[in-house]
Amino acid sequence: MLTRIEYPLNRPAPILSVVVVAWRRDEDLPLCLEAICNQTLNRGDYEIIVVDNGGNPSARRRCAHLVDLWYESPTNCGCSGGRNVGARLARGTFIAFVDDDGEIERPFLATALAAIQSSDEIAGVRGKVVYRKHRFMTMLAGVYDLGPDRLPRITLDCEGASIVRSAMFCAVDGFDERLAGGEGLDWTVRVMLAFPGMRVAYEPGMVMRHDYVDSPVRYVSKVHMNRRSRERQSGQLDKFPTLRLPPELGIMTDLPDRRPLLDRFVCKFGRYVVRATEWIPERDDYRRK
């Protein structure tokens, strides 16, 4: 149920809707929204929708004028839940999802639109994520940067730097809100099964600056949270059937590692650290991210 909508839209429906789900991002959200407003794409061609999961009072006062629609959620509905709410409120033919603590580069939206409109067989496009402040912490995210080349068939595993076709996203009920990690893979498989011949692509020209984590403790905590999520999923495969990747879809799973040697070393070192810290409990501030 919608509890409060501010800044109602009073202009014709744009071609693109940009959805940002915000939770406890008073400092980062203004920079995120300013970057979305400062795009090479004509401002009249896209709308900005913020789904406020709470904890952003200062950002809301400072940034509400930058967005077209501000939805205040009655509870924290989670990242996937918030994106689904934003998709239901969106009026654009295409929906771009941007992380609330990410800054997209100026050509991001124009490049995203061009990429998804380049073929009727593309259901979604995911971009490349590079570090914002914490270089070594972001190296630990192995799926963020898949290299400088476009890839025609991949999974939507960077949900916060992506664009999808609105009709197809909603036709398969968006992201599975039960998942905390893996929701992009799940959506990719469901949309490809529901619409044979459709695919998700990787476009390196869609660049977002975003840190995977900002400290070693948060990294370990996040990895353990994702692992617990995957364990719950694997124990209930009947409830998450699409997580079992059908080979006939032809999704690229064994990609050549194009990352620099230092990136690969840091990522491998991080995995060894996590294995040595199995006792660290799950942190509450990552339950919904």
Give the residue among 288, 194, 198, 176 at the shortest CA–CA distance from 243. Answer: 176
- CATH number for the domain spanning 12: value is 3.90.550.10
- Residue 118 confidence (pLDDT): 98
User: What are the pLDDT digits (tens) for 150-186?
Assistant: 999 999 989 999 999 999 999 999 999 888 778 898 8
Find how far residue 138's CA is from the centre of its chain. Answer: 15
Residue type, 275: R
Specify the residue for token string 């919904």.
288
The model's pTM = 0.89
pLDDT value for 246: 81
The pLDDT score that the predictor gives to residue 230 is 66
Cα(218)–Cα(77) distance, integer angstroms: 22
Q: Give the single-character DSSP code of 172.
A: T
What range does the domain containing 149 cover?
4-286
**Count of the separate structural domains present in the chain:** 1
**289 pLDDT higher than 60:** no
Q: How confident is the model over 29-55, as pLDDT tens digits?
A: 999 999 999 999 999 999 999 999 998
pLDDT of residue 255: 66
User: Quick check: 3 pLDDT over 60?
Assistant: no
